[in-house]
Amino acid sequence: MTENLEDELRLSVMRLARRMRLERDDGDLPDHQLSVLFVLLREGPISIGLLSEHERVTPPSMNRTVNAMAQWGLLNRASASDDGRRVLVDITEAGRRAAGEIRRRRAAWFSLALRELSEAERGSLGEAAVLLQRLADS
Amino acid sequence: MTENLEDELRLSVMRLARRMRLERDDGDLPDHQLSVLFVLLREGPISIGLLSEHERVTPPSMNRTVNAMAQWGLLNRASASDDGRRVLVDITEAGRRAAGEIRRRRAAWFSLALRELSEAERGSLGEAAVLLQRLADS
DNA sequence: TATTGTTATACTCTATAACTATA
DNA sequence: TATAGTTATAGAGTATAACAATA
């Protein structure tokens, strides 16, 4: 792949992600809360400390975010049974619903956008999906 | 493309973009300032109002951000010659350097990640780049 | 004594409302 | 009178430092 194509790929991924992030309503959750919900969906119950590392914020900041979200019923806090210091955070049914709404909205937009492509082009993107996944994990 | 593949593509794009955004140092610009620089690079001189729409913040908020960035010499403010009310914001050489640094860091990481793929796989991604670009614009 | 989380405090970014300057 | 931007003020989100509880 030429360097130019590499840049084009990188930039288009960034811009497409931004475009998808914009598929939200005014009443939706703040970005950082939404991001926490997605982590919980992906990783399951997790401590405040790990959550703060994952989201690249300090533990006090994450603590505050988690408290706000617990007040809204989006997640639960519970002491870890094996270590009284740790707090395990888990998503609630309401949290799942909130995250699901955004996900559906993004998926709906994306589906429509994909229909503008040809069958062959969609096939190319299908091949690419698994590769992008691998890159994200590296 | 099956619905499942559609989801996989959407999620992998989001996650790869996040992974790339993380390629920054502590001393780097705040996200919203960086985002403004990227808009200026892409769109050239632009008014405060359009900039605030593009970044989805209110005009007073963007005004503040622009002032801070002007103080750091990252951009220039100038009245529009044809309309004394409008302010045209343009990136400076220092702004270009700051944006370029992040871009280089992301490009370097991405280059390394791509080397883990086969030649054929990189070819697939090359094809996909232009399609992702088109989706981002839709 | 080290680790996990919390409280106290301050700074930054954001928003709404009210204001100024220009059209 | 309408529009582009600014100032005033307040509400979130974040950070650092100091503290409490548990290991």
Q: Does A127 touch chain B (CB under 8 A)?
A: yes
Q: Which residue is nearest to nucleotide D7 (CA to C1')?
A: B60
Taking the C-alpha atoms of residue A42 and residue A39, their distance in angstroms, rounded to an integer, is 5
User: Which residues in chain B are contacts of A111 at CB distance < 8 A?
Assistant: 6
pLDDT in single tens digits along all 138 residues of chain A: 888 889 999 999 999 999 999 999 888 999 999 999 999 999 999 999 999 999 999 999 999 999 999 999 999 999 999 999 999 999 999 999 999 999 999 999 999 999 999 999 999 999 999 999 999 998
SS3 A47: strand
Q: Is there a contact between A114 and A122 (Cβ–Cβ < 8 Å)?
A: yes
For chains A and B, count residue pairs whose Cβ atoms are closer than 8 Å: 142
Tokens 């632009």 locate to: B46
Return all residues near A82 (Cβ < 8 A) that are at least 6 apart.
Answer: none
